[in-house]
Amino acid sequence: MQKPLVDYSLYLVTDSTEAILGERNLVDVVEQAIAGGVTVVQYRDKTSDTGVLIHTAKELHKICQKGNVPLIVNDRVDVVLAVGCEGVHLGQDDMDIVTARKILGQDKIIGATVSSIKEAQVAVEAGADYLGIGTLYATATKKDTKSIIGINGIRKILYYLSHQKDDAAQIVKSVCIGGVNASNVQRVRYQLHPPSGSQPQKVLDGVAIVSAIMAAEHPQAAASHLKLLLDTPPPFKVKSTTAVSIPETEQDEINSIRTATTKAIVAVSNQKPLSHNMTNLVVQNFAANVALCIGASPIMSNNGDEAPDLARLGGGLVINMGTATPDSLANHQKAIEAYNSVGGPIVLDPVGAGATAARKEALAFLMASGYFDLIKGNEREIMAVARASGFVLHDSESKSSQQRGVDSGTSLFSFEEKAYLVSRIALRERNVVLMTGKVDIVSDGMRTYSISNGHSLLGEITGSGCALGTTLAAYMAANPEDKLLACVAGIVHYDVAGQVAGAGDVQGPGTFIPAFLDQLSKTRTQVMNKAYSDIAFRM
Ligand code: 3NM
């Protein structure tokens, strides 16, 4: 017998516990999952006696063979031998791979759980056929996982493997595991594929899933939905179809940004895109007024259940973490799924993300829940995002970046350092990142721009940062072909209006608000009427 060629794309790991399987029959559930398109099955049962394990594995093997899908048994080399199935999956505390290989021979598949470069190196050298890399995200299915390594931890292991000279590292297959479900599977795959034009790198061969299939009410439908998601490019990617070209000279670049900005402002006015805000009470009124003034259509709804209907209207969503609670997070999660599934742009505004442990957790939860086209925040907030994205900041930076309120505080970094951090996060998250401040820095990882318009009074009124999120959601919705330039246009519109309003006849923050709203609307009308000869913005 030859080692089977395995399609690892949708790898089901079973679970026989009450919490996941309930009263249902394991073999029935797995049979449905195979009918839905699962490509490999791992029988994982940590508690049953050997007799039960062998009996169940035999039953599973029959249906796997019928569906032409390999069966792998977790931990138990003896059960693999007794049943004659295709392979074994070994955790770090299980039998070592070399011994298992001696017992099972060359024709069986051996997989290994790894969560670090060192473990990956050991497993590959010992001859593992595939690696189960995790834990990607915290999961209720397995609470005693060693470490949550996130997208970045997985990326590091794949990067390490790509750069090894030996064949074993090149041919070893990989799946990720931990918290993968229908709402994040496309983003996980997308973020683990390097952007085109960058160095070639190993990509994941599949995703390993327990609860999103095993605990689903209809395992067949759940599996086929996941398979469809894996087989189709993510909607947030499909919508941005224009290839991004970078002009040759700086002047050409500025000119092209001016043209794009004018076009984007007109597009928002013409399309009146919905700006759906899930935000805190403090800023709702102001943000809704800002949306109207820039030409968008605001809706302030924190109810996740109506997000799917709203997402179909083609607008953008703002998730503002200002007053995050377990209830609001559950609503946010539903909305993220709804917008991600139709490719509607989402802005994450991690308000005060560095201030408390609860907010740091909320940020990690949201970043695991879906794909954000734009993450915007002040310096402290973006540093919290950097940490959630897997950057290791030095202790001194971490301590001094402890946020007190939601205000921005004094700067810790030079402009160059900030620009570098912003572009690195954008590259890692494969999205647009904006750090607001005296000078706004925005990047998609390839192109980084700074915009130094605006006015100090913008920092003295509540909600100006949140309403910029409202603006940018509408801008990205109306200008999906290049989200970075859509954001630049929105920032320019917003900041120039602030600059002109602040330079006018205002007495202070109170009179600044109406003057600012007037200017937002005037700028737009003038651009629409072509009366605005040139937008005087500084890049
Ligand atoms: N192993 P779900 S995480 C079986 O990190 C298992 O090694 C993990 O379950 C690891 O898909 C995990 O329901 C459970 O999140 C994954």
Burial state string for 342-380 with b = 16 or more CB within 10 A and e = fewer than 16: ebbbbbbbbbbbbbeeebbebbbbbbbbbbbbbbbbbbb
Contact predicate 75/91, CB 8 Å:
yes
Q: Is the CB of 14 under 6 A from ligand 1?
A: no
pLDDT of residue 323: 75
Contact predicate 502/525, CB 8 Å:
no
Residue range 257-269: average pLDDT? 89
Lowest-pLDDT choice from 163-167, 318-322, 531-535: 531-535
Q: Is the CB of 131 under 6 A from ligand 1?
A: no
Q: Has residue 340 been placed in a domain?
A: yes
Same domain, 202 and 293: no
Q: How many CB atoms lie within 10 A of CB 163?
A: 11
pLDDT of residue 185: 92
Residue range 169-191: average pLDDT? 92
- Is residue 434's pLDDT more than 80? yes
Same domain, 218 and 332: no
Q: Is the CB of 10 under 6 A from ligand 1?
A: no
pLDDT of residue 241: 47
- CA 537 vs CA 141, 255, 412: distances in Å: 52, 11, 26
Gap from CA of 176 to ligand 1 centroid (Å)? 9
CATH number at residue 189: 3.20.20.70
Counting ligand 1 atoms within 8 A of each CB, the residue from 93, 139, 209, 226 with the most, and so the one to mutate, is: 139
Gap from CA of 232 to ligand 1 centroid (Å)? 24
The residue among 122, 127, 90, 91 whose CA lies nearest residue 3 is 127
Among residues 176, 205, 232, the one where a domain terminates is 232
User: For the chain, what is the total number of helices (H) and then of strands (E)?
Assistant: 23, 16
Counting ligand 1 atoms within 8 A of each CB, the residue from 135, 137, 214 with the most, and so the one to mutate, is: 135
ipTM score assigned to the predicted complex: 0.99
- Distance separating alpha carbons of residues 471 and 498, to the nearest angstrom: 13
Gap from CA of 230 to ligand 1 centroid (Å)? 19
Contact predicate 522/269, CB 8 Å:
no
- Is residue 408's pLDDT more than 70? no
Number of domains observed in the structure of the chain? 2
Percentage with pLDDT > 70 across the chain: 91
Chain segment 5-22, per-residue pLDDT in tens: 999 999 999 999 999 999
- Distance separating alpha carbons of residues 184 and 230, to the nearest angstrom: 11
Same domain, 314 and 206: no
Q: Has residue 237 been placed in a domain?
A: no
Counting ligand 1 atoms within 8 A of each CB, the residue from 10, 12, 13, 93 with the most, and so the one to mutate, is: 13
Same domain, 130 and 214: yes
Chain segment 438-480, per-residue pLDDT in tens: 889 999 988 899 988 889 999 999 999 999 999 999 999 999 9
Same domain, 390 and 422: yes
What are the residue numbers of the active site? 466
Give how far the C-alpha of residue 515 lies from the chain's centroid of Cα atoms, to the nearest Å. Answer: 37
Chain segment 381-393, per-residue pLDDT in tens: 999 999 888 787 6
3-class SS of residue 486: helix
- Is residue 397's pLDDT more than 70? no
Chain segment 83-141, per-residue pLDDT in tens: 999 999 999 999 999 999 999 999 999 999 999 999 999 999 999 999 999 999 888 99
Gap from CA of 141 to ligand 1 centroid (Å)? 6
Same domain, 224 and 127: yes
CATH number at residue 271: 3.40.1190.20
Among residues 199, 232, 265, the one where a domain terminates is 232
Same domain, 383 and 481: yes
pLDDT of residue 123: 98
Q: Has residue 244 been placed in a domain?
A: no
pLDDT of residue 539: 46
Q: Has residue 240 been placed in a domain?
A: no
Same domain, 227 and 254: no
Q: Is the CB of 178 under 6 A from ligand 1?
A: yes
The residue among 348, 387, 354, 390 whose CA lies nearest residue 371 is 348
Same domain, 54 and 108: yes
The residue among 435, 433, 458 whose CA lies nearest residue 443 is 433
Query: Which letter does DSSP use for residue 93 in this model?
Result: T
- Is residue 407's pLDDT more than 50? no
Q: Has residue 272 been placed in a domain?
A: yes
Among residues 232, 265, 285, the one where a domain terminates is 232
pLDDT of residue 453: 83
Q: Is the CB of 273 under 6 A from ligand 1?
A: no
Q: Which residues fall within 8 angstroms of residue 373, CB to CB, at 6 or more apart?
A: 236, 316, 345, 346, 347, 431, 432, 476, 483
Question: Pick the residue with more confidence: 328 or 402?
Answer: 328
- Distance separating alpha carbons of residues 87 and 365, to the nearest angstrom: 35
Region at 461 (left for phi over 0; alpha for psi -120 to 50; beta for the rest)? beta
Residue range 28-57: average pLDDT? 97
Same domain, 295 and 364: yes
pLDDT of residue 344: 93
- Distance separating alpha carbons of residues 116 and 130, to the nearest angstrom: 14
- Is residue 394's pLDDT more than 90? no
Chain segment 296-306, per-residue pLDDT in tens: 999 999 999 99
Model confidence band, residue 425 (pLDDT cutoffs 50, 70, 90): very high
Question: Pick the residue with more confidence: 451 or 145?
Answer: 451
Q: What is the CA radius of gyration of the chain?
A: 26
pLDDT of residue 404: 43
Gap from CA of 380 to ligand 1 centroid (Å)? 32
Percentage with pLDDT > 90 across the chain: 66
* Beta strands per DSSP E along 304-419: 316-320, 346-349, 374-377
Mean pLDDT, all residues of the chain:
89
Q: Has residue 536 been placed in a domain?
A: no
Same domain, 495 and 373: yes
Contact predicate 36/221, CB 8 Å:
yes
Model confidence band, residue 506 (pLDDT cutoffs 50, 70, 90): very high
Q: Has residue 27 been placed in a domain?
A: yes
Same domain, 64 and 145: yes
Q: Has residue 2 been placed in a domain?
A: no
Burial state string for 243-265 with b = 16 or more CB within 10 A and e = fewer than 16: eeeeeeeeeeeeeebbebbbebb
- Distance separating alpha carbons of residues 272 and 418, to the nearest angstrom: 34
Q: Which residues fall within 8 angstroms of residue 420, CB to CB, at 6 or more apart?
A: none
3-class SS of residue 29: helix
Q: State the Cα torsion 232-234-240-244 to the nearest 10°.
A: -90
- The domain of 143 spans 10-232
* Secondary structure percentages of the chain, helix, strand, coil, to 5: 50, 15, 35
Contact predicate 478/529, CB 8 Å:
no
Find tokens 């024709």 and name the residue.
107
- At position 248, the amino acid (one-letter code) is E
